[in-house]
Each structure stands twice: as C-alpha cells, then as structure tokens.
Amino acid sequence: MSIPVTVVGIGKIARDQHLPAIAGNPDFHLAAAVSRHGTVEGVPNFTDFDRFLAEGPAGPVALCTPPSVRLEMALKTIAAGRDLLIEKPPAATLGEIETISAAARDAGVVLFATWHSRFAPAVAPARAWIAERKVERVTITWKEDVRRWHPGQAWIWQPGGFGVFDPGINALSILTEILPGAIHVGAATLEVPQNCATPIAAQLAMTARGTVPVAAAFDWRHEGVQTWDIEVEASGQRLTLGMGGAQMAIDGTPVDLPAEAEYPEIYRHFARLVAARESDADFAPLRLCADAFLVGRQVAVAPFTE
C-alpha cells in the first residue's frame, strides 16, 4: 500500500518537481495539498495548516514553502507525529534547522532535509573519482537569469530569502557531497541591489581540506547561456560537472551517465528512510551560506526590477 503524502506550498517547485515525482512513485500517493493561493485537482485542499493537521489525511508532509515560514510548520508537523520532507534550503537559519532536527530526533520522526542537486547523475561518480585523487583546486561557476527561473518570487529578495544563494546553495550542496570534510569561507563579496535585502551576485573564496582553494561565482543577472558548472583539478586531471551535475567530463571527454531524475530520486530515498525509520539532515551547505553572509563584504549595485 502506498504512503499518503501532503504537499505544503503549491508554488513553482511543487508543481514542476514534487507533484510529478510523487505521481511517478508507487511508494507514495498525493493525499492533500496545503496552500494559501494554489490548489491541486483531485485531492482535498486546505488554506490553513492547523486545520489540515487537525482534519486532513494522515501521512508525511513535504514542506515546499519559502524557508522563512518553515520553522513553525515543521515543529507542528513533528509534534503531530508526521514524517517530514523539507525542500532546500531547509530553513532560514542554522538555529532553526538545528531546532527542527532535534525535535524530530526526540519525537522519533523521520526528517529528510533534501538537497536535490546531490541526486544529479554525475554527483556520485564525481565523489568516487575525487576519493582516489589529490585535489588541487575547485572552481564553481553558477550563473543564471533570475527572471527566467524565479519570476514573481518577491520573497527571495527579502530578509531570509537567500537571494542568489537560493540557486548557489545547490552548488554548495554538490561541493560538500563530492568533497567531504571541513570547508571554510575565508572571504566573500555580496552584490546587493539597492532595493533588495539579499544579494543578486556573490563571489566566495573558500578552503577545503586545509589547503585546497575553492572559488565560487554566483550571478543571477546572466542572460546568455545558463551555466551551472563545477571544475575539479586533481592529480593532474580535470573533472567537470556541467548543467548542475547532469553532465560529467574528464579532461574534456564526456562520461556516460543515466538520465537526470533528481526529484524522483529524492522520493525514492524518502521511501527508504521512512521504511527504515531513519533521518537524513545535513546542514553543511546552509552553514557555508551563513558563513558567507557573516564574513562577506556587501557592495551596493543597481536596483533590481522584474
């Protein structure tokens, strides 16, 4: 029998990714939707989260709301004894996700803080390739057009909205997966539009494994070819992850990979976690974002308009 799951926050990411992934997974079926603005045909729809918890169907909850409002919902979900999947980034602050994680552990509830880019097909092979070599340098280039990928999402420019770190954290989630161990942010430049509270571009200088330089450039103003690349120089060779981990090459030679299926893989992993009563909640990418904001030098740039 499949597991009933309720999606909370029926926005672009829920419609584009979560709902199709649930529909294609025999371990789950969509039981309900909770949203102030969106609805899903064929299931009960709720506009009030408390009413859903009291009257709605049982089963896990997938939180797809903006991170700034997740803490209260997550804690109420856990208090109701429901397993919880959280869209990335898992919370607005490290303190919030630590509180959520502790509550889930104490309640015996499964918590899955998802990082969808870690399920890109090149990530596991890249981690295995790196594990056998001495890493010399890592370069991240993450440049896209915010108007194309996040239209009308004003929350990303408000405090707690992450700005360009909303996609940039995807790169950091891959980095922390393929290069395990301590990574420190030494310096950062955050370019903040004059009418916004969060950056539209950022440059990070980090260090991994004590001596390995890691440079990252995030930019949301890029109107040309959209770029989501990570390049790793190791033992005299060069590994390149392209298209956010959908592609991989060694010294320019492409590596055959399975088809991209990030969100289907997320729900397959969630089914395994629920069956084993285990949690998966790693905060390393969020920590790097927080460190960048702490040490970053802010530079005012032109106002942003849709």
**Can you tell me the distance from the alpha carbon of 274 to that of 88, in angstroms, rounded to the nearest whole number?**
19
Report whether 64 contacts 9 (CB < 8 A). yes
**Can you tell me the distance from the alpha carbon of 169 to that of 173, in angstroms, rounded to the nearest whole number?**
6
165-178 vs 123-131: helix axis angle to the nearest 10?
A: 40
Specify the residue for token string 């890691």. Answer: 214
Q: What are phi and psi of 39, to 5 degrees?
A: -135, 160
Classify the phi-psi angles of 120: left when phi > 0, otherwise alpha if psi is within -120 to 50, otherwise beta: beta
Residues catalogued as catalytic: 88
Q: Which of 124, 271, 154, 140 is nearest to 216 (CA)?
A: 140
For residue 26, say if its preceding peptide bond is cis, omega within 30 degrees of 0: no
CB contact set of 37 (below 8 Å; sequence gap of 6+): 10
DSSP-assigned letters across all residues of 46-111: ES-HHHHHHHS--S-EEE-S-GGGHHHHHHHHHHTT--EEEPSS--SSHHHHHHHHHHHHHHT--E
